[in-house]
Amino acid sequence: MISKNTIDRVFEASRVEEVLGDFVNLKKSGSNYKGLSPFSDERTPSFMVSPVKQIWKDFSSGKGGNVVAFLMEHEHFTYPEAIKYLAKKYNIEVEETEQSQEQKEQADERESMYLVSEFAAKYFKNTLLKTELGKAIGLSYFKERGFTEETIEKFQLGYCLDDWNAFTNEALSKGYKLEYLEKTGLTIVKGEKQFDRFKGRVMFPIQSMSGRVLGFGGRILTNDKKAAKYLNSPESEIYHKSKVLYGIYHAKQAISKEDNCYLVEGYTDVIQFNQAGIENVVSSSGTALTPEQIRLINRLTKNITVLFDSDAAGQRASIRGIDLILEQGMNVKVCAFPEGDDPDSFAKKNTEEEIRLYLKENSKDFLNYKASLLMEDAKNDPVKKASLIRDMVNSISKIPDNIQQEVYVQETARIMDISEEVLFSTLAQLTGGQVKKAAPQRPRSMEVVKGDAVPGTKVNEQYELEKTIISLLLLYGSIEEEFEELVVKIDDKGEMKLEPEINRAKVYEKIYLDLQEDEMKFANPNFKEVYDRIIRKFTAEGELVQESFLNEIPVETAAAITDILMEDDRYALSNWEGKEIFVRSKEDRVGQMVQETILNLRRFLVKEKVKDLSKKLPDSSSEESQEILQEIMDYDQLRKKISEKLMRAM
């Protein structure tokens, strides 16, 4: 258990914009920050971060919460893991009581696999640096590659002894279960025998964006032709090759800062570039590039530079991934290295300044690169040249932005000496299927369109009213306002009349007393829990600090609150004021909103009560029916009075 003191210190130190900035490329937007959603595939920012409220909201997926909620949602951390991650980031010592054996056994499968992977990474690194065989074999190899001690430490490089089960036996002796050693792929189980998967290999831990060890890559050091040169961990609950990029943990901040990501092929390419001082580099780790990997980069930058080996066959194979990058709406450049070099060897023999200069001078737009690469094959062959042009236009068709498409068509026409009309015609043929599937154009103003009406989504009126009450309490609960009450008075003739009377009260007092008076209860369990907590907070302390309040409630409940707190910030994404559309501030009409909301909730509940009573009529006796009818009439009268009050409140 982590102590409350540690949790309080973590929340006090953590800044939501700093933490989330490690995972999402955030741009300033008024008093907030915005960026692309890390939870969905989008090209227009709908992810909003509020430094003032210390919360975030993803309008595309509906997720939201505080800094801990983000880490739990994005990195699949448990609550304690998120706290520990933040404590490490802000150099806060974690005070906790030691877990009992029973508590360790209760850890879920996913967490157990993470723990096994973390142990393996430490074990392999220790074997590399502190055992004779590790130093003689593994460490010697890394030093031959030119890796420094700092680099080895940074990337947690290691070595697995050339022994059938040295690692497995050590893990079992430390209390780690064979079940999880097998599920992570670290151990191969054959009946009653167990073998180390990475026997005799140098080890490259593969980390998530937050630094958690997900799996491993292992390189063999012998000339055994039957064994794969590189071996990766198998797919597991925590390791999905198609969704991971090697080096992303160390590269994320540099990618965001440089607004560019270098994409290479292997582990050592990434490591050599880092050692040379260029950190914004990642690798797909020998697997074919996937949309999920591209979207991982897209969260941090719109710009990718693909770095190829000088080998022509490798370039042609790799260039196929460019279309995937274009489909994600990203900007692509390509850079090939001199004959005989790859990113690893080139970085090893050049300084940081020389590497940066080379990349700057030799990075080409994907179109120019593709043309120069494939034109060699086409030469004076008209058929091959036509095929090349179609291939280039096919790449252009992947670009979602129409303006970019047009610019690239014009550039292709210039490079290949062909008319733009022909290229646009070819482009139309390639995108024809998509055009046919596009939504029909919106009808012109005042034009009558015949056809069946499409039923709209039914609004849950009670949910919206309860949500508004929570919103008013969170945003304006401690504000004192004037409220008009209609009080029953007897006039000179002895008749009852409703007369207005102005009373001052705090918003939370007004809401609480009105709901108590009519015994109105929340139907939504999340809203009910939040309402009870808010009222307790106000009655005990007289105020509610949003930031600390969010940190005290369960993460799953916090998402509903974030939705409310960030609702107004949604409009900042559309920049209404920049379009000279000004939205009236809610602060100007808090009292009116409180009265309208409570009256509307009363009217809704009365209407529901009438519905319930009406359902009882068919099964009632004549005497019961008379009573029910009278009750319905009374409620109708009450509804009329509420409607009168609403007209006055508007």
Write the single-letter amino acid at 193. Answer: K
In the prediction, which pLDDT does 491 show? 67
Can you list the pairs that 609-615 forms with residues at least 24 positions away whose Cβ atoms lie under 8 Å?
A: 609/635, 610/635, 610/636, 610/639
Q: Are residues 300 and 392 in the same domain?
A: yes
Domain boundary among 41, 57, 89: 89
In angstroms, the CA 206 to CA 217 distance is 7
Longest CA pairwise span in the chain (Å): 111
In the prediction, which pLDDT does 647 show? 63
**Per-residue CA distances from 410 to 302, 374, 413, 430, 507 (Å):** 22, 19, 5, 17, 62
Candidate ranges 229-233, 495-499, 515-519; pick with highest mean pLDDT: 229-233
| DSSP H helices in 299-419 | 312-318, 321-327, 343-348, 352-362, 366-378, 382-397, 402-416
Question: Residue 646: inside a domain, yes or no?
Answer: yes
Q: Residue 289 in contact with residue 321, Cβ under 8 Å?
A: yes
In the prediction, which pLDDT does 272 show? 97
pLDDT exceeds 50 at position 305: yes
Enter the tokens of residue 587.
């602060």
Question: Residue 493: inside a domain, yes or no?
Answer: yes
In angstroms, the CA 253 to CA 21 distance is 8
- Provide mean pLDDT across the span 401-407: 86
In the prediction, which pLDDT does 650 show? 42
Q: Are residues 425 and 543 in the same domain?
A: no
Question: Residue 442: inside a domain, yes or no?
Answer: no
pLDDT for 77-87, tens place per residue?
778 888 999 99
Enter the tokens of residue 399.
């670009």
Write the single-letter amino acid at 546. Answer: Q
Q: Residue 225 in contact with residue 269, Cβ under 8 Å?
A: no
- Provide mean pLDDT across the span 189-197: 93
pLDDT for 102-134, tens place per residue?
655 555 788 899 999 999 999 999 999 999 999
In angstroms, the CA 55 to CA 48 distance is 9
493 alpha carbon, distance to own chain's centre: 68
Write the single-letter amino acid at 500. Answer: P
Residue positions counted in the chain = 650
Write the single-letter amino acid at 83. Answer: I
Q: Are residues 417 and 496 in the same domain?
A: no
Q: What would the DSSP string read from start to end of 169-183?
A: HHHHHTT--HHHHHH
Q: Residue 422 in contact with residue 416, Cβ under 8 Å?
A: no
User: Which 3 state secondary structure label does DSSP give 488?
Assistant: strand
Domain housing 642: 459-568+586-650
In the prediction, which pLDDT does 43 show? 78
Q: Are residues 80 and 112 in the same domain?
A: no
**Per-residue CA distances from 295 to 36, 209, 243, 329 (Å):** 10, 13, 9, 10
- Provide mean pLDDT across the span 404-413: 87
Q: Residue 6 in contact with residue 87, Cβ under 8 Å?
A: yes
H or E element that contains 331:
strand 331-336
In the prediction, which pLDDT does 249 show? 92
pLDDT for 279-291, tens place per residue?
999 998 767 889 8
How would you list the strands of the sheet with 303-308, edge to edge?
A: 281-283, 261-264, 303-308, 331-336, 364-365
205 alpha carbon, distance to own chain's centre: 23
Q: Are residues 51 and 193 in the same domain?
A: no
Question: Residue 450: inside a domain, yes or no?
Answer: no
Q: Are residues 514 and 608 in the same domain?
A: yes
In the prediction, which pLDDT does 72 show? 85
pLDDT exceeds 50 at position 178: yes
Q: How many domains does the chain have?
A: 4
Domain boundary among 239, 257, 286: 239
Q: What would the DSSP string read from start to end of 20-64?
A: HTTTS--EEETTEEEE--SSS--SS--EEEETTTTEEEETTT--E
Angle at 208 between CA 281 and CA 556, to 5 degrees: 135
Question: Residue 645: inside a domain, yes or no?
Answer: yes
Out of 72-76, 121-125, 260-264, least confident range: 72-76
pTM of the model: 0.67
Q: Are residues 423 and 548 in the same domain?
A: no
More confident residue, 379 or 382: 382
CATH number of the CATH domain containing 312: 3.40.1360.10
Question: Residue 420: inside a domain, yes or no?
Answer: yes
Q: Could you give the count of Cα atoms lying within 13 Å of 358 in the half-sphere of its Cβ? A: 17
More confident residue, 418 or 202: 202
Q: Are residues 75 and 214 in the same domain?
A: no
Q: Residue 252 in contact with residue 300, Cβ under 8 Å?
A: yes
Q: Are residues 225 and 293 in the same domain?
A: no
Domain boundary among 40, 62, 89: 89
pLDDT exceeds 50 at position 583: no
Q: What would the DSSP string read from start to end of 77-97?
A: --HHHHHHHHHHHTT-PPPBP
In the prediction, which pLDDT does 513 show? 81
**Per-residue CA distances from 55 to 9, 86, 467, 540 (Å):** 17, 15, 18, 24
How would you list the strands of the sheet with 230-232, edge to edge?
A: 158-159, 201-207, 213-220, 230-232
In the prediction, which pLDDT does 646 show? 67
Q: Provide the 8-state DSSP code for 206.
A: E
More confident residue, 276 or 633: 276
Question: Residue 634: inside a domain, yes or no?
Answer: yes
